[in-house]
Amino acid sequence: MAKKYYDPAGLGKFGNIAEFQKPMADKFFAYYGEVFKEGALTAREKSLIALAVAHGVQCPYCIDAYSTDALEKGCSEAQMMEAVHVAAAMRGGATLVHATQMMDHVKDLTGA
Amino acid sequence: MKSLLAQHALLSAPSEQRLVLEDPGSALPFFADKLAESGLPVLHATNLEVLQLNLGRMCNQTCTHCHVDAGPDRKERMSREVMEDCLRALDAHPVHTVDLTGGAPEMHPDFRWFVEQLNEKGCHIIVRCNLTIIRANKKYYDLPEFYRKHKMEVVSSLPFYTADRTDRQRGKGVFEHSIEALKMLNAVGYGLPDSELELNLVYNPAGAFLPGSQDELEKQFKKSLMADHGIQFHKLFAITNLPISRFLEYLVRSEHYAEYMERLVNAFNPAAVQGVMCRNMISVSHDGSIYDCDFNQMLELPLSAGMPHHIRDLAKSNVAGRAIVTGRHCYGCTAGAGSSCGGTVA
């Protein structure tokens, strides 16, 4: 067994998750395929969302997969980086917005 | 950047490229086996309709992915004698389109003479113009007018709608000069919505990935080129990079070869096989040798046994129905929506 957490070859083995639980894997991959089809959003827009989410959830497999996918769908470097900034802004904002809770708590305790 | 040949690179030799591609130790299926496994027959040619002529390897650019290994240091070019053989072949076969490529075909000293001869024969003429040649020297400034006069279809590579990615693949400043050339083509009527002067662009991925949807890419190119530069064109052809010459060397050097080939094989689309361009064309090298396609020409894979090997012998030969010579490079034309000099095929 490889002595590392992330092996790039793991991405190609994604489908193998069915080996331990096939019915759920089949349902997941069918759903996954449906989600990424052209719909109310274009496949290209979905690819950029996926790229942003890949960074948000910090999944190395997803970052590789959706960097390639976004390139294939004709996204520019600037568009891809802006998508990552959206993820960064969301994560940063999600952290900072909790500061209001901290502030309320501090004010409550200190009687400010 | 020098050509692979000028660098004396091992992979400048077609025989070395074939060794990499057809490595019997590779886990990749042979193309012929893949066809059989998919229940498809051996690929055969239909009637000869297109002659694609490589006028020479000389080019004013040295693009990183060039499958011809063209560049300023390449001097090979088609002789007048071979050009005349091509003209005779046109009299003998019902060819409706002549596709001129290179290198930069316009750099051939007999380019204009040859186009005039082809024009007199009434065939549709495509020129694979790299765009920058139009701005390379004053003597080429009138090329748009020359193309217009002979009603040539202009097919031009523009790897992306942004400067950085285009220049990374084709050289510094190429995007800016390409934009200037496109404006000159638009100015004489090429690419305008109702114009019969066809201007089509070629997109090929700037790296080890496959092209996405041709329609979607065309929309993005049209939107960006119009908004940023006021440029119009007709169609975008999305072409897959084939693992040949400089692109093969890049794949091997960057250790992306196995991964890229796996992507091509996994994306094999049986529906794309019937539409591949080799079925109705013959590709002619600058020295008059003939091949099933431009890629077989670069790999020096001649026509199948019993078929002529030189354009001078084509006039008296029947090449319809011949078995097409294939190899693992053919996965490039059958991946996804397929790929040809005219874009997707499935």
Q: Does the interface predicted TM-score (ipTM) exceed 0.85?
A: no
Q: Which of residues 264-283 of B touch A (CB under 8 A)?
A: none
In a domain, A11, yes or no: no
* Matching residue, tokens 């800016």: B176
Look at residue B344 and tell me whether its pLDDT is greater than 90.
Answer: no
**CA dist B97 → B6, B52, B118, B291 (Å):** 33, 8, 10, 16
Query: Does B212 sit within 8 Å of A72, measured CB to CB?
Result: yes
Task: Point out the residue among B205, B216, B262 whose CB comes nearest to the CB of A71.
Answer: B205
In a domain, A8, yes or no: no
In a domain, A14, yes or no: no
Q: Domain holding A78: CATH number?
A: 1.20.1290.10
Peptide linkage before B103 cis (omega within 30 of 0): yes
CB < 8 Å to A73, chain B: 212-213, 216
Query: Distance (Å, rounded) from C-alpha B125 to C-alpha B83?
Result: 14
CA distance B332 to chain A (A): 15
* Matching residue, tokens 């013959």: B282
In a domain, A54, yes or no: yes
Give the pLDDT mean for B320-341: 94
Q: Residue A1: what pLDDT?
A: 61
Task: Point out the residue among A12, A71, A74 whose CB comes nearest to the CB of B207.
Answer: A71
Query: Does B209 sit within 8 Å of A71, measured CB to CB?
Result: yes
Task: Point out the residue among B164, B216, B262 whose CB comes nearest to the CB of A74.
Answer: B216
Task: Point out the residue among B164, B209, B220 whose CB comes nearest to the CB of A72.
Answer: B209
In a domain, A37, yes or no: yes
Domains of chain B, start order:
10-334 (3.20.20)
Residue B50, CB-side half-sphere exposure with 13 Å CA sphere? 23
Testing the interface with B: which of A75, A76, A79, A82 to mutate, by most B Cβ within 10 A? A76
Q: Residue A7: what pLDDT?
A: 86
Look at residue B214 and tell me whether its pLDDT is greater than 80.
Answer: yes
Q: Residue A6: what pLDDT?
A: 87
With CA atoms as reference, the chain A residue closest to B263 would be A12
A44 reaches B (C-beta below 8 A): yes
In a domain, A16, yes or no: no
Query: What does the pLDDT look like over B39-91, one tens digit per residue?
Result: 999 999 999 999 999 999 999 999 999 999 999 999 999 999 999 999 999 99
Query: Distance (Å, rounded) from C-alpha B293 to C-alpha B297?
Result: 6
B160 reaches A (C-beta below 8 A): yes
Task: Point out the residue among A73, A77, A78 whose CB comes nearest to the CB of B216.
Answer: A73
B171 reaches A (C-beta below 8 A): no
Query: Distance (Å, rounded) from C-alpha A82 to C-alpha B120?
Result: 53
Residue partners of B190: CB distance under 8 A and separation at least 6: B144, B147, B148, B154, B197, B198, B199
* Matching residue, tokens 């040649």: B133
CA distance B164 to chain A (A): 9
Q: Which two tokens stand for residue B7?
A: 């660098």
- HEC string of chain B? CCCCCCCCCHHHCHHHHHHHHCCCCCCCCCHHHHHHHCCCCCCECCCCCEEEEECECECCCCCCCCCCCCECCCCCECCHHHHHHHHHHHHHCCCCEEEEECCCHHHCCCHHHHHHHHHHCCCEEEEEECCHHHHHCHHHCCHHHHHHHCCCEEEEECCCCCHHHHHHHHCCCHHHHHHHHHHHHHHCCCCCCCCCCCEEEEECCCCCCCCCCHHHHHHHHHHHHHHHHCCCCCCEEECCCCCCHHHHHHHHHCCCHHHHHHHHHHCECHHHHCCCHHHCEEEECCCCEEECCHHHHHCCCCCCCCCCCEHHHCCCCCCCCCECCCCHHHHHHHECCCCECCECCC
CB < 8 Å to B212, chain A: 43-44, 72-74
Determine the angle formed by the axes of helices A77-97 and A60-72, rounding to 10 degrees.
140
In a domain, A42, yes or no: yes
Determine the angle formed by the axes of helices A99-110 and A77-97, rounding to 10 degrees.
20
Q: Residue B345: what pLDDT?
A: 84
Query: What does the pLDDT look like over B148-198, one tens digit per residue?
Result: 999 999 999 998 999 999 998 888 999 999 999 999 999 999 999 999 999
Sign for the pseudo-dihedral over CA of B135, B86, B73, B206? positive
In a domain, A60, yes or no: yes
CA distance B104 to chain A (A): 26
Q: How many domains does chain A have?
A: 1
Q: Which two tokens stand for residue B249?
A: 């060397």
Query: Does B207 sit within 8 Å of A73, measured CB to CB?
Result: no
Testing the interface with A: which of B169, B213, B265 to mutate, by most A Cβ within 10 A? B213
A76 reaches B (C-beta below 8 A): yes
Look at residue A2 and tell me whether its pLDDT is greater than 70.
Answer: no
Range of the domain at A50: 21-110
